[in-house]
A and B are shown apart, each in its own frame.
Chain A
Amino acid sequence: MSVADLSTANTAQDPSAPPPLAATRPVLSIAGLVKRFGAHTVLDGIDLQVERGETVCLLGPSGSGKSTLLRCINWLEVPDAGRVLLEGETIGVSTGGVVMGDGQLSRMRTRIGMVFQHFALWPHLTVLQNVMEAPVHVQRRSVDEVREEARALLERVGLSAKHDAFPAHLSGGQKQRVGIARALAMKPSLMLFDEPTSALDPELVGEVLTVMRDLARDGLTMVVVTHEMSFARDVADRVVFMDAGAIVETGAPEEFFGAPRTERARQFLLRYSNGAATPGETR
């Protein structure tokens, strides 16, 4: 890992960012998380911890609740029960158990970067403006400083030539790399990737995974929902396998892919190795 690398500014290694106490706590701690849509229980008591610098890949069949879990972490979906702690602080619920006001929830969300399946770039802004928008208008950082960082981030994801392009004129892979740069510009403590390559043409998947691989290597804390088994195998520190709203199995990728402990995980891996993957899955 190069010390001069820009990523250090975006991760926990930045000595100025996290308070020393937080360094010993897990970045993310989920306990007893339940989410229902009507009568259907999508998440049925999830417990999960993610340590600083860790890359966790969430795997599982369609409808197993992976994306919903990810969206509960930053409260895009409001959980029905359980707690989500970011660096020891409960998200969404203030002390005393009342639901957080919008402002307080928003401030916590700025510490969690998110990359979306369908990119979700802001169509009225250029590439550079997309990256600068939230740091300037939400975090209220100086425009000049943010512009410098945004340029560096875009260079890092290989899009220096596209500053002034609008999202509509980019390929899917380029859009997703802007999406990643936009999230990194917030200097988040945690990055969530919601099937970041599922909406891409197969030949564009590689360029996005390469960027993500670099981020993982540089020690960014990442939770990645993906169907890219080889990415999970090579990059994840830990694999979490979900089925029917529960975590069925969790472990190092070599264990999970080499010798899955549960029958459901075996079946799942078998389907993928048979090429019955569903890369175009939507929520």
Chain B
Amino acid sequence: MNGFAIVWSERALMLSGLANTVVLSLLGTLASLLLGALLTPVLVSRRRAPAFVALRFVDLMRCTPFLLLAYIVYYGLPSIGLRFDNWGAGLFALVLYNSAYMAEILRGAWMAQPREPIEAGLAFGYSGLRLFRRIVLPPLLLAAGPVIGNQTIQIIKDSAFLTIIALPELTHAASSIQSRRYIPFAAFIVAVFLYWGLCLLVEAAVAFGKRLAEARQ
């Protein structure tokens, strides 16, 4: 039997892996973006202590291999009493890691924004979270759209590491098929093309965001 035919015969497993990858990446991206956005004002804050802590956190995450972080969350944290199932551990690691990147991306976009529209927000009675949500954040998201898209692709790819904590995502499905049926080439190449398809969707979303941004330039 041809390798690809075998993959076809295992399509239910492959598709459920794909679905899990989509769910993981989607939740991971949205939660990272949300937490990253909440972290951004702390990064640019003039209050030294919180800004220092946030900056160190971002630094640490950016210098940690994701695989190691996933190991720590799944195998390490239980030894200090924090126990997750594999979905919980996978999502937690993905979000912890990528919210640091998202915060850094948004911080960079913030630095490039003019100060006056934010001042106008203050002068018109905005403050706190409402100022951030209505006035500060939308231009940041528009400006940083393509970079956020890149990071989303990174998240999709990082989710493949979670096979090591037995999360049944796409890479896990492909490797399970190849180990039972001895078709590494076909199983993995199909997985690669499926990842590619997901990235094309992200790129379409980025293109849409770009049109929104360009209309405002």
Which of chain A's residues have a CB closer than 8 A to the CB of B16? none
Which of the candidate stretches A4-12, A30-38, A101-109 sits at the interface with the other chain? A101-109
Query: Does A123 interact with chain B (Cβ within 8 Å)?
Result: yes
Query: Which among B125, B128, B216 is the interface contact of A134 at CB below 8 angstroms?
Result: B125
Q: Write the chain B residue with the least CB distance to A102.
A: B127
Which of chain A's residues have a CB closer than 8 A to the CB of B135? 122
- Report the minimal beta-carbon distance from A252 to chain B, rounded to whole angstroms: 29
Interface size class of B (residues with CB under 8 A): 20 to 34
A contact residues, total (Cβ < 8 Å): 30
B106-138 with Cβ < 8 A to chain A:
114, 116-117, 119-128, 130, 134-135, 138
Which of chain A's residues have a CB closer than 8 A to the CB of B3? none
Query: Does B139 interact with chain A (Cβ within 8 Å)?
Result: yes
- Specify the main secondary structure of chain B where it touches its partner: helix
Cα–Cα distance between A105 and B121 once the two chains are bound (Å): 13
Cα–Cα distance between A110 and B128 once the two chains are bound (Å): 15
Which of chain A's residues have a CB closer than 8 A to the CB of B117? 120-123
Cα–Cα distance between A18 and B127 once the two chains are bound (Å): 24
Query: Does A76 interact with chain B (Cβ within 8 Å)?
Result: yes
Which of chain B's residues have a CB closer than 8 A to the CB of A120? 114, 116-117, 119-120
Interface residues of B (CB under 8 A from A): 114, 116-117, 119-128, 130, 134-135, 138-139, 142, 215-217
Contact B127 A105, beta carbon cutoff 8 Å: yes
Contact A168 B134, beta carbon cutoff 8 Å: no
Q: Write the chain A residue with the least CB distance to B123.
A: A114
Contact B126 A106, beta carbon cutoff 8 Å: yes
A-B contact count (CB 8 A): 71
- In the assembled complex, 30 residue pairs joining A and B whose CB atoms fall closer than 8 Å, in A order, are A74-B123, A76-B119, A76-B122, A102-B127, A102-B128, A106-B122, A106-B126, A106-B127, A109-B122, A109-B124, A109-B125, A110-B125, A112-B123, A114-B123, A116-B120, A119-B116, A120-B114, A120-B119, A121-B117, A121-B120, A122-B117, A122-B121, A123-B117, A123-B139, A123-B216, A133-B134, A134-B124, A134-B126, A138-B124, A168-B217
Cα–Cα distance between A137 and B132 once the two chains are bound (Å): 13
Q: Write the chain A residue with the least CB distance to B115.
A: A120
A137 and B130 contact, Cβ closer than 8 Å, known pairs A123-B216, A124-B138: yes
Q: Write the chain A residue with the least CB distance to B138.
A: A124
Which of chain A's residues have a CB closer than 8 A to the CB of B139? 122-124
A138 and B125 contact, Cβ closer than 8 Å, known pairs A122-B135, A124-B139, A168-B216: yes
Contact B116 A106, beta carbon cutoff 8 Å: no
Q: Write the chain A residue with the least CB distance to B215.
A: A166
Cα–Cα distance between A139 and B217 once the two chains are bound (Å): 29
Cα–Cα distance between A110 and B134 once the two chains are bound (Å): 16
Cα–Cα distance between A123 and B142 once the two chains are bound (Å): 10
